[in-house]
Structure formats: structure tokens, C-alpha cells
């Protein structure tokens, strides 16, 4: 398999894995815990709390499910088009990061389309309740930002080395 083929494969596997893990975790929660109920995992730190969200991340835009669906589709489409348009020379980490973001967005989109709301359940007492898809989105964005920063630093170092190599001293 070519390097480009491996990268696209990593993207597809990342998307599929996130959707599968997200939907499986939500199905297990729905089967075992009634809405509004909690189970303590680590006292005063982490609960599994069955909640739903009709808005965007962290409970923003509650009741705007249609708007959120359209925005999610626009973002996913834009990311994929931009990414594949500019994919030449991109690092594997960028493909995995994009796969996590797209998989997370699609995982939550499946909830919106089939349930009318997103199921959230990971409840750290000091943070809004979230789910596996949300984790994937945050980690994916982090990988993309990290890889972009590393690429920019490498490019700057390369340019400064070229500039230093061409410099001459006046005697």
C-alpha cells in the first residue's frame, strides 16, 4: 500500500472506530441507565450520568438541533474537501486527527438524526457532561494543531538554516 493509501486508510479507520465506540458506549448506557440517573465511578470526581443534549458542545445552543445538524454537515464537508485538496505531503498524524474529528462529528450527528438529541454521559463534576464523540473531536483537533505547529517550526528552522548557510562575513 502506498504512503497516500495508508494515510487514507488511517483516516477511514479512525472515522469508523470513533463512530463504533461512540454508538456502542451510548447503546450500553441507554440499556443500563435511565435518563437523569447517575452511577458513581470515582466519588466526587467521575459519574456516568445519562443526559441528553439538543444543542452543540457543552450544552450550547439548546433546542437548535436543526441548526446544529446543518452546521456539523457544513464543517465536516468543508474539512474533508479542504484536507483532500491540500493532502499532498501531509503527515499521517493529520489524517488520524481529521478522522477523529469527522468520526466524532458523525457520531453525534447519528444521535441527532435518529434520536433527536445527543446522549452525553461522562460526568466530571467540574465540567459539562460529554461523550466519546466529544473526546474524539477534542483529541483530533489537538493532533491537527500539534502537527501543524511541528510543521511550521520545521519550516522556520529550515528557512533560517538556509539563510545562515548563504550568509557571508565581511573581512
What residues are labeled active site? 120, 134
What nine digits make up the cell of 22?
461512540
Residues 6+ apart with CB under 8 A from 139: 97, 100
Distances, alpha carbon 96 to alpha carbons 18, 71, 92, 107, in Å: 11, 22, 6, 16
Helices 3-32 + 92-115 axis angle, to 10:
30
Distance (Å, whole) CA 143 – CA 97: 5
Amino acid at each position: 500500500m502506498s504512503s497516500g493509501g495508508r494515510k487514507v486508510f488511517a483516516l477511514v479507520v479512525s472515522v469508523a472506530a470513533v463512530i463504533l465506540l461512540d454508538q456502542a458506549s451510548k447503546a450500553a448506557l441507554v440499556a443500563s441507565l435511565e435518563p437523569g440517573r447517575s452511577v458513581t465511578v470515582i466519588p466526587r470526581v467521575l459519574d456516568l450520568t445519562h443526559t441528553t443534549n439538543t444543542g452543540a458542545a457543552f450544552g450550547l445552543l439548546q433546542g437548535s438541533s436543526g441548526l446544529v445538524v446543518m452546521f456539523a454537515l457544513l464543517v465536516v464537508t468543508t474539512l474533508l474537501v479542504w484536507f483532500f485538496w491540500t493532502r499532498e505531503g501531509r503527515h499521517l498524524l493529520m489524517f488520524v486527527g481529521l478522522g477523529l474529528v469527522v468520526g466524532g462529528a458523525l457520531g453525534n450527528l447519528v444521535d441527532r438524526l435518529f434520536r433527536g438529541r445527543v446522549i452525553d454521559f461522562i460526568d466530571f463534576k467540574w465540567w459539562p457532561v460529554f461523550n466519546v464523540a466529544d473526546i474524539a473531536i477534542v483529541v483530533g483537533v489537538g493532533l491537527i494543531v500539534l502537527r501543524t505547529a511541528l510543521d511550521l517550526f520545521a519550516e522556520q528552522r529550515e528557512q533560517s538554516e538556509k539563510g545562515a548557510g548563504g550568509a557571508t562575513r565581511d573581512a
